[in-house]
């Protein structure tokens, strides 16, 4: 009898299982559309030129690796704020912003969840139906009850705005409401500016706590437009939280570069909130790692590297959009009669394709094409070499 003998197997992670099945498949034409990663035209995770240049400069400095402050690198935290709120935002000088470097977007969400739980007594969070699968698990692990608000409307392959607003209205006053700021994962369906205004109105009236998750800034339209939800919340004067991830936009997945930003309601709140957030960090991992944040800060604060990064981000975005268009055209050419144009309206790396679980299983067994059971496909994993095969296979299973 050991201390570990009562431990039972955890349920299998569905996406990891998908990767295992993909790796074990011996067909040369196999395609993994289950991933949450941007692949370039050659099927590789790119190393951005802006990142490479910043890394070379950092190596050349021979900088010692001392501890960072608890809340991370100051230059990084300030650059994150500018990216979220815009260079000219009055918030930048209002002493209402607290940004802490975090271990990716996931780390930012966990810090925010722990902070709200410990310091404000929050116990209920509402997430979209569907949402990134880790949202529920992460908040449950942090002690919350997790409920869902309607989001995706299968009949239109679009947004169920009415359902979303009604459900947020009906939540107990002061609930935490998790919102995807842009490029919703897994559906690719986003809110318009007028939709956001309505959400802000109900959140404000019900005294809810908005928690914005922005993991794909730059993958929708551009860096500015993709931050519009964050900026509208900023204009509303509400206190709220933002979890940023640079995993995708800098192609720095493994470096774990993210940030949690808290916008306080007034400058008096800022010092106590920062002091308590630092305790959450200190008791979890003490302080964050140096490399990824140094690289991102260098790119964001150097005008030449910044414009190179913007250009590379645009290349990724344009390639994904081209793949969306090509997929719709090739599906049509392969004889699909349903209107698949919603794939082109969706934004970011993913598409909720409308494929059923059985159709997804057929894609894997008959064609070696792996997608998530919900029908989510990663459009960023398509390229000129595999798209024909994917379109023909999808057309076959749709018949």
HEC string of 352-371? ECCCCHHHHHHHHHHHCEEC
Which residue, 127, 131, 129, 236, is CA-closest to 175? 127
Q: Report which residue's Cβ sits closest to ligand PMP.
A: 104
Find the shortest distance in angstroms from Cβ 327 to ligand PMP: 21
Report the C-alpha gap between 15 and 123 in whole angstroms.
28
Task: Tell me whether residue 313 or residue 331 sits nearer to ligand PMP (CB atom).
Answer: 313
* 198 labelled catalytic: no
Question: Between residues 96 and 324, which has the closer beta carbon with respect to ligand PMP?
Answer: 324
Give the residue, chosen from 213, 226, 255, 312, that forms a contact with ligand PMP under the rule CB under 6 A.
213
Spell out, one character per residue from 242 to 271, where the chain touches ligand PMP: x when CB under 6 A holds, - when not. ---x-x----------x-------------
- Residue pointed to by tokens 């099927």: 43
- What is the contact mask toward ligand PMP in residues 110 to 149, using x (rule: CB under 6 A)? ----------------------x-----------------
Give min distance, CB of 200 to ligand PMP, in A: 20
| Least gap, CB of 247 to ligand PMP (angstroms) | 4
SS3 269: helix
Of residues 171 through 210, those in contact with ligand PMP by CB under 6 A are 180, 185
Q: Which is nearer to ligand PMP, 53 or 215 (CB)?
A: 215
Rounded CA gap, 398 and 385, in Å?
22
Q: Which of 53, 76, 100, 104 binds ligand PMP (CB under 6 A)?
A: 104
- Identify whether the C-beta of residue 203 lies closer than 8 Å to the C-beta of residue 167: no
Binding range to ligand PMP, per CB under 6 A, among 101-109, 136-144, 203-211, 295-303: 101-109
Which residue, 167 or 187, is less far from ligand PMP as judged by CB? Answer: 187
Neighbour-count burial for 180-195, b at 16+ CB within 10 Å, e otherwise: bbbbbbbbbbbbeeee
Q: Closest distance between ligand PMP and the C-beta of residue 196, in Å?
A: 17
By C-beta, is 244 or 386 nearer to ligand PMP? Answer: 244
Q: Does residue 106 belong to the site contacting ligand PMP (CB under 6 A)?
A: yes
Facing residues of 356 across strands?
A: none
Query: Is the CB of residue 141 less than 8 Å from the CB of residue 134?
Result: no
Residue 395 host element (H or E): helix 387-398
CA–CA separation, 61 vs 81, rounded Å? Answer: 26
Bridge-based pairing state of the strands 124-129 and 145-150: parallel
Nearer to ligand PMP, 247 or 353 (CB): 247
Number of H helices, E strands in the chain: 14, 13
Establish how many alpha carbons lie within 13 A of residue 299's alpha carbon, considering only the half-sphere containing its beta carbon: 29
> Among residues 105, 218, 288, 375, which is the contact residue for ligand PMP, using CB under 6 A?
105
30, 114, 122, 132: the catalytic one is 132
> Which of 179/393 has CB closer to ligand PMP?
179
**Dihedral (Cα; 312, 317, 319, 320), 10-degree rounding:** 150
Distance between CA atoms of residues 311 and 317, nearest Å: 10
Binding region for ligand PMP (CB under 6 A) out of 10-18, 104-112, 116-124, 339-347: 104-112
Stretch that binds ligand PMP, among 19-27, 100-108, 156-164, 319-327 (CB under 6 A): 100-108
Closest distance of CB 243 from ligand PMP, Å = 7
In the range 30-49, which residues lie near ligand PMP by CB under 6 A?
36
User: Which one, 330 or 347, has the nearer CB to ligand PMP?
Assistant: 347
Of the candidates 122, 248, 298, 330, the residue annotated as catalytic is 248
Point out the catalytic residue in the list 77, 114, 190, 213: 213
* 49-61 vs 303-333: helix crossing angle, rounded to 10: 150
CB 78 within 8 A of CB 99: yes
Q: How far apart are CA 69 and CA 318, in angstroms?
A: 38
132 among known catalytic residues: yes
Using CB under 6 A, which of the segments 99-107, 280-288, 321-329, 372-380 binds ligand PMP?
Answer: 99-107
Do 375 and 16 contact (CB within 8 A), yes or no?
A: no
Q: Which residues are catalytic?
A: 132, 213, 248
Residues forming contacts to ligand PMP in the complex (CB under 6 A) are 36, 104-106, 132, 180, 185, 213, 215, 245, 247, 258
């Amino acid at each position: 009898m050991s201390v570990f003998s009562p431990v039972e197997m955890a349920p299998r992670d569905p996406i990891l299982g998908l990767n295992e099945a993909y790796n074990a498949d011996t067909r040369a034409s196999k395609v993994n559309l289950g991933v949450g990663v941007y692949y370039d035209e050659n099927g590789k995770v790119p190393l951005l030129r802006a990142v490479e240049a910043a890394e070379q400069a950092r190596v050349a400095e021979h900088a010692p690796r001392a501890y960072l402050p608890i809340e991370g690198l100051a230059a990084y935290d300030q650059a994150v704020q500018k990216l979220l709120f815009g260079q000219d935002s009055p918030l930048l000088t209002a002493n209402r912003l607290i940004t802490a470097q975090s271990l990716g977007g996931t780390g930012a969400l966990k810090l925010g969840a722990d902070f709200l739980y410990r310091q404000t007594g929050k116990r209920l969070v509402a997430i979209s139906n569907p949402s990134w699968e880790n949202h529920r698990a992460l908040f449950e692990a942090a002690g919350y009850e997790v409920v869902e608000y309607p989001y995706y409307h299968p009949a239109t392959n679009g947004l169920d705005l009415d359902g979303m607003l009604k459900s947020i209205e009906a939540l107990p006053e002061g609930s935490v409401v998790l919102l995807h700021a842009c490029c919703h994962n897994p559906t690719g369906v986003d809110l318009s500016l007028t939709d956001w205004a309505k959400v802000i109105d109900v959140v404000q009236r019900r005294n809810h706590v908005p928690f914005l998750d922005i993991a794909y800034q730059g993958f929708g339209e551009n860096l500015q437009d993709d931050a519009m939800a964050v900026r509208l919340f900023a204009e509303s004067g509400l206190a709220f939280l933002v979890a940023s991830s640079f995993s995708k936009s800098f192609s720095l997945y493994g470096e774990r570069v993210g940030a949690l930003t808290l916008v306080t309601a007034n400058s008096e709140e800022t010092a106590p909130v920062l002091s308590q957030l630092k305790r959450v960090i200190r008791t979890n991992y003490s302080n964050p790692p140096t490399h990824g944040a140094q690289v991102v800060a260098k790119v964001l604060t150097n005008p030449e590297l910044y414009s190179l990064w913007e250009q590379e981000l645009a290349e990724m975005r344009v390639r994904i959009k081209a793949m969306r268009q090509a997929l719709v055209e090739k599906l049509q050419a392969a004889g699909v009669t349903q209107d698949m144009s919603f794939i082109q309206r969706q934004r970011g790396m993913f598409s909720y394709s409308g494929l059923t679980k059985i159709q997804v299983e057929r894609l894997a067994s008959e064609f070696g094409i792996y997608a998530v059971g919900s029908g989510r496909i990663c459009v960023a994993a398509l390229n000129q070499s595999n798209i024909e095969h994917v379109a023909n296979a999808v057309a076959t299973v749709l018949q």
